[in-house]
Chain A
Amino acid sequence: MSYTMFSAFEFKRKDTYIHKLDPRTKMFMTIVFMTVALLFTTIIPLLITFIITLIPILLAKSVEEWLNSLKGTTILLVFILVINSFIRDLNFALAMILRLIVLITAFSVFFLTTHPDDLAQALIQMKVPFDFAFALSMATRYVPTLAREAQTIMDAQMSRGLELQKGGLTQKIRNLIPLIIPLIVNSVRRALSIAESLESRAFGAIKKRTYLYQLKLKKNDFIFIIFLTLYLLLMIYIKIYSPLASWMEWKFPL
């Protein structure tokens, strides 16, 4: 269960148009999709946004991985649906779910198609200090390791008779303690040993680093950025001057 959820955000090497884009272009894309999703609160515009967000997923041939990421968030989606239906109404709740799906999609397309090292390099070229960029790329690199470890811990504790599904809500939360504590302890131990092995390889010995690879924006990146900018401007225009046709405001009759 836990593993499939994480695998949704794990980089997979593929040879597609999206994979070959510069990480900065993809970063921009994620920001644009996020912004647009946050502009609207009604179903139809968000549905359109959603369909547009699907284009890079299709181009990146990552539909399966993306579906896995959604599967992992089902509980959260249901939770949002129920809460919002109570507080506001079903239309608003559905819109909020669409918005969340767009956000997840925007992030998952970024992480699915961007190698952690490229992400770090992009940040460095955007003048983020090397230490931070490195820490971030390390963190992404350890997500699958942590997921595997969580699975092993779960197996080990189940072998000692732990039943995760047993009991009421408080009991279920207490059932997690035997999983979380070993996970934290091991992570701290691992962090310390990583720090030691970094230092033993002279991490930070030279203030000014040079890099083997430099990222460069290519023709495809510029085309993509132009499309994204136009899309963003159009959406802002629609939002501000609100020339929303009446069908755009369509709601479920309740």
Chain B
Amino acid sequence: MIEVINVWFTYPNGTIALRGISLRIRDGESIAIMGENGAGKTTLVKHFNGLLKPEKGLVLVDGINTKETSVAKLARKVGLVFQNPDHQLFSTTVEDEIKFALKNLGFPSEEIKERVDWVLKFLDLERYRERSPLSLSGGERKRVALASVLCVKPKILILDEPTIGQDAKQKRKLGELLKKYQEEKNTVIVVTHDVEFASKYFNRIVVMARGKIIADGPPNKVLTNPTILEESSLSPPQVTVLSHEIAKKINNFPKDIVLFDELLNEIIARLRR
């Protein structure tokens, strides 16, 4: 569990990035953190694994104050995948790249092998095992970067903008993988601008603007609220736009729809009536 209690954070250049954030993330949740550029999303997730320490307030990971532990110690529990894979890939083979975190965290060599095999299979990267991560395409590099963190099997997995540069098929695959990982009793947190991705694969949406949390709730409550969307420069999911348009013409048509299947069922149900 992550508890964020009234956290403030200012960068050395004077930008106040977080203004009194409070948030409780229970085990096994799937959360998408959304909001406009510069809202403080990345700053907030960097607090979850202790890379940044709150200037005021507290961040507790399973009851441990992040100020009193190291990033390396937290890395076993909290995995953070950065936005740009090129900021972390450096090994000669994909396999070595994945081993890096496992060796740092002192796993025994047999377990390292098991975990490498598992993660390569889980992310469908087996055929790249001997390839240089730097020679792979953008989307593949992103998956290798994910693998290099996922191999630790962190109880809390955080991804910063995982869908950027991924085609529709890869995005779907990624969404399903994250869902699968979350169903194994892990917490998955993403930072994203992709409303469709967030509403489809995540149960809780946290919206940030100007260093504050302005909304927190299930997708069909948050991503269908025009005031929240406007304030955070997000555009609603296409399905929501459509349901709002239908609601203009048909009385009592629900507006809080974010998923395609929901909309479809609603329409079919009404046609049959």
Contacts and interface: CB of A to CB of B under 8 A. Distances in A.
A186 interface: yes
A169 to B, nearest CB: 19
Interface in A134-153: 149, 152-153
B123 to A, nearest CB: 16
Contacts of A178: 88, 90, 100
Given A163-B104, A182-B88, 9 more contacts: A4-B12, A152-B84, A152-B87, A155-B82, A156-B88, A158-B72, A158-B75, A160-B101, A161-B104
Interface residues of B, number: 26
A158 B75 CA distance: 8
A153 B87 contact: yes
A181 interface: yes
Contacts of A163: 70, 72, 104
Interface string A187-229: 0010000000000000000000000000000000000000000
B264 interface: no
Interface string B1-41: 00000000000100000000000000000000000000000
A80 interface: no
B90 A182 contact: yes
5 contacts: A159-B82, A161-B72, A161-B105, A163-B72, A185-B134
Given A155-B51, A158-B51, A161-B72, A185 B86 contact: yes
A230 interface: no
Contact of B101 (A155, A161, A181): A161
Contacts of A4: 12
A126 interface: no
Interface of A is mostly: helix
Count chain B CB atoms within 10 A of each CB in A149, A156, A163, A178 and give the residue with the most. Answer: A156
Nearest to A178: B90
Nearest to B107: A161
Interface in A153-191: 153, 155-163, 177-178, 181-182, 185-186, 189
* List of 3 A-B pairs having minimum Cβ-Cβ separation, nearest first: A161-B104, A181-B90, A160-B101
B199 interface: no
Count chain B CB atoms within 10 A of each CB in A155, A160, A161, A163 and give the residue with the most. Answer: A160
A149 B72 contact: no
Given A152-B87, A153-B87, A178-B90, A159 B100 contact: no
Given A182-B86, A182-B87, A182-B90, A159 B79 contact: yes
A181 B88 CA distance: 9
B24 to A, nearest CB: 22
Interface in B51-89: 51, 70-72, 75-76, 79-80, 82, 84, 86-89
Nearest to B74: A159
Nearest to B75: A161
Given A152-B82, A178-B100, A159 B149 contact: yes
B243 interface: no
A160 B104 CA distance: 8
Nearest to A150: B87
Contacts of A155: 46, 51, 82
A4 B134 CA distance: 30
Given A155-B82, A159-B82, A177 B90 contact: yes
A178 B88 CA distance: 7
Interface in A104-159: 149, 152-153, 155-159
Nearest to B102: A161
A4 B51 CA distance: 18
Contacts of B86: 182, 185-186, 189
